[in-house]
Amino acid sequence: MNSSPLQPKSLIVCPGAVAAQVTVAYDRMVLDCPLSWLAGPESQLLAQGSTLVHNENGALLHGTHLLAGVLLGKGAQSLEEESCELYRRMFAITHGLNRYRLWNYVPRINDRIAGVENYVAFNAGRHRAFIEQFGGIHPRELSAASALGSTGGTVALVFIAGPDPVKHYENPLQIPAAHYPECYGKNAPLFARGSRVHAPDGSTSWYLSGTASIRGCASIGADFSHQLQITLENIQRMLVEMEVPVARHAAWNVFLRDRRDLEICRQRLADTFPDDVHQMTFLEADICRSDLLLEIEASFRTLPHQKAAS
């Protein structure tokens, strides 16, 4: 069904599905994500635009200053091939635009196939697509991202892109992921720790990448509470680096490997970011490194310039 292009359309991410799938109905494009919802808002609005187009491999949302989309793997021979093909498609679709934010959902991310962990195979495919596209790895092409394990189905890639200027950030407490040594996989993960976008209407968006208990390149923290502490320190450092103002709208996603850690996690986050407690979604998901027990991502936004009241 085609609806009026004047009607705002939304890209929404919803957990709780069996396999990643995109449904488009009237004014909504929904990515059903195979992660378990635990607490907080049950769906998240990622982007709004004016036109939706879709086929069996994904959906795109066009707005005046935005192109957002969900792309699903077509079931290639291997996870590496499927990941490479998804990134090729995404690069073609976003050609000439800046990429603001990416989400990677990798089925059974910590399982091994023929001795290779699925996350390692995913990184190999992503790396190949970057080299094909840019001839090398350039920091200006690395945007904020998250990589989560899903319970099944194909790889899913969600992106937000557009023409507005974007600045990418790294965390001085962490080695840029693109420089991780080979012990974390032959091909490094390719993302920035955060990205900031200024829109022409005066609004600003900050995207904080999936943040975990990593210092330098090493996973640290033997138990959940310690990993949470390190993760929060990484986040606080990024909020300073990116100059995220105190007065802003926030939306958080907290991914827990084990749902039994929910209460301690909720309490600590409520103590640390009391104004944001109602904007935190808690999900159960596998994290890309098998020794990591949680990952936290967020986006922040300030409103367009207000016209002076007359």
Contacting residues toward ligand 3EB, per CB under 6 A: 104, 145-147, 177, 189, 191, 209-210, 212, 214, 288
Of 287, 270, 290, residue with least CA distance to 278: 270
Return the number of the residue (23 or 219) whose C-beta is nearest ligand 3EB: 219
Minimum CB distance to ligand 3EB, residue 256 (Å): 14
User: Of 145 and 166, which CB lies nearer to ligand 3EB in the complex structure?
Assistant: 145
Is residue 161 within 8 Å of residue 74, measured between CB atoms? no
126 closest CA partner among 162, 169, 177? 177
- The backbone torsions φ and ψ at residue 78, rounded to the nearest 5 degrees and listed phi first, read -140, 165
Nearer Cβ to ligand 3EB, position 116 or 199?
116
| Residue 177 CA neighbour count, 13 Å, CB half | 26
In the complex, the smallest distance separating the C-beta of residue 239 from ligand 3EB, rounded to whole angstroms, is 16
143 vs 204, which CB is nearer to ligand 3EB? 143
Q: Smallest gap, in angstroms, from Cβ of residue 181 to ligand 3EB? A: 12
Q: How many helices (H) and strands (E) does the chain have?
A: 4, 21
What phi and psi, each to the nearest 5 degrees, are found at residue 187? -110, 125
Closest CA to 89 of 124, 51, 59, 120: 59
Q: Assess contact for 285 and 249: CB atoms under 8 A.
A: no
> In the bound complex, what is the minimum distance in angstroms from residue 4's beta carbon to ligand 3EB?
36
Which of residues 86 and 212 has its CB atom nearest to ligand 3EB in the complex? 212
Minimum CB–partner distance for residue 180 and ligand 3EB (Å): 7
